[in-house]
Amino acid sequence: MNLQSLTLTQARDLLDNRRLTSRQLTDYYLQRLEKYDSYINSSLLIDYEGASRAADLADHRLAHGEGGGVLGIPYIIKDNILTKGLKTTAGSKMLANYVAPYDATVVSRLKQAGAVLLAKANLDEFALGSSTENSAFGPTHNPYNLSMVPGGSSGGSAAALAADFCTFSLGSDTGGSVRHPASLCGVVGYRPSYGAISRHGLVAMSSSLDAIGVLARSAVDVATVMAIIAGPDKYDATASLVLEAPAKVNPIINWSKIKIGWPAEYFSSGLNSEVAEHLINIKNILSDKGATIVPVNLPLTSYGVSAYAVINMAEVSSNLARFDGLRYGHWVGGSNLLETYLNNRKDGFGAEVKRRLMLGTYFLSAGEGESYYKQAQTVKTIIAREFKEVFTQVDYLLTPATPTVAFPLGVKVNDPLSLYLEDSLLTPASLAHLPAVAIPIGWNLAGLPIGGQLIGKRGEDYNMLMVAQAIQDVINITPQLLPWE
């Protein structure tokens, strides 16, 4: 049986009809990880024993009549999400040996539903980056061209899925860290409405923007995972948004009733011509299907990266203050308390983390908070208001996900500004707390994936995912061969 590139929906059908066991599917992925992940470096830890046990338990439940959902489905999770009894490093030397004492809420819900955790995925250190080159444990490579980046910061989660190491994966998206690597690796990457998924057990980075997201091969698969992990949580006061899940996921769309916004600011001069051509082609296809395409304006789009950078760095400096090496984490020590703090953090943090800590501390310092952090929060509020106004005219927004396709490893790693601009088309939706999903829309001439983005109204995540699936069905993108197999 050919198990390559199974969607969750396909795997579900095979498991429920007893044509495949969870243990067989789990062994398939574990063998691929063992054989091929040395090329990709997508995973920091592979839990062979735990995955095998979970698969056997799932098979027991399947044999006794259970089925559906994610029962018996293998997945990989970003290594800034806590998993009890396993290391959670956040891609940092600071937490290289940290073993989580409890499961994140998303992990406990997936475990209860019978999903099979295979591995912990590589990431930019503390999720600070757009290329997964900032990991203390080496960069992740793009499965479609090993000399290219996979995007970031959830690059390990996206690359593992694209390399066929799992059926779905989880990442975190603050300013685009699920959608960016999904776009560069040719998979679906979804950021939920803020407050739809509990962040309990996510290593905090930027608390007013952080969200746990889902990566899969189809938007329908994302919706299946969402039905398990979304919902209020007593451990996270921000997880208060209740999404109405459909009784049945149905991607059949009456396009004549759909209005899709085409924001001019997302198609500016910095956009790669091949990316623009693919988006224009999709716009024309949807128009031919009967959708109404509405030109709209979001003039504050260009301020998104600046506002995001200030908010992110300020909140990073606050959240990462707890990592001092005293209670847990990397220890160097010193002759006094101050020297101990300095040594532990200097040696435990990488360059990008230090950069954002210093800038964020400055943004919050006496006399500067009004000029930077408060001003950025004001811009954030106005951007959200701007989106709200546009959504009185349209149902969804169709945009590029990234300005370019994947770029070579090492080219931008020492140019932080260019890396920050990688998220220029992704940060506005984050700032407005909107749901957004990156979907694969084609391939460039060099065989690298191109991604588009659909943005929806807050709280209408499932409707947005169904439209995204309908677009996937219309354009029918076929995965390319992986060059290292």
Residue 374 designated active-site = no
* Maximum alpha-carbon separation in the chain: 72
Kindly name the residue from 130, 131, 135, 153 that is annotated as catalytic.
Answer: 153
Which is nearest to 131 in space by CA: 425, 408, 431? 408
Which is nearest to 391 in space by CA: 459, 302, 466, 451? 459
Cis peptide before 135 (omega within 30 of 0): no
Amino acid making up residue 53: R
- Establish how many alpha carbons lie within 13 A of residue 55's alpha carbon, considering only the half-sphere containing its beta carbon: 23
Q: Helix, strand, or coil here: 397?
A: strand
Please tell me the distance from the alpha carbon of residue 472 to that of residue 430, in angstroms, as a whole number. Answer: 23
- Secondary element (H or E) of residue 196: none
Amino acid making up residue 301: T
Q: Do 426 and 154 touch, CB atoms closer than 8 A?
A: no
The residue with tokens 């592979």 is 46
CB atoms within 10 A of CB 379: 18
Token pair for 78: 């970003």
Q: Write down the number of H helices and E strands in the chain.
A: 15, 11
Q: What is the dihedral of CA 32, 35, 40, 45, to 10 degrees?
A: 80
Residue 287 designated active-site = no
Cis peptide before 273 (omega within 30 of 0): no
Kindly name the residue from 42, 177, 198, 430 that is annotated as catalytic.
Answer: 177
94: exposed, middle or buried (C-beta count within 10 Å: 0-12, 13-18, 19+)? buried
List CB contacts of 109: < 8 A, sequence separation 6 or more.
228, 229
Amino acid making up residue 222: V
Q: Do 51 and 30 touch, CB atoms closer than 8 A?
A: yes
Kindly name the residue from 43, 78, 154, 424 that is annotated as catalytic.
Answer: 78
The full length of the chain comes to 485
Residue 78 designated active-site = yes
**Strand ranges of the sheet holding 43-46, from the earlier edge strand across to the other edge:** 43-46, 116-121, 74-78, 168-172, 212-216, 188-191, 436-443, 449-455, 396-400, 259-263, 292-296
Which is nearest to 260 in space by CA: 289, 300, 231? 289
Residues assigned a catalytic role:
78, 153, 177
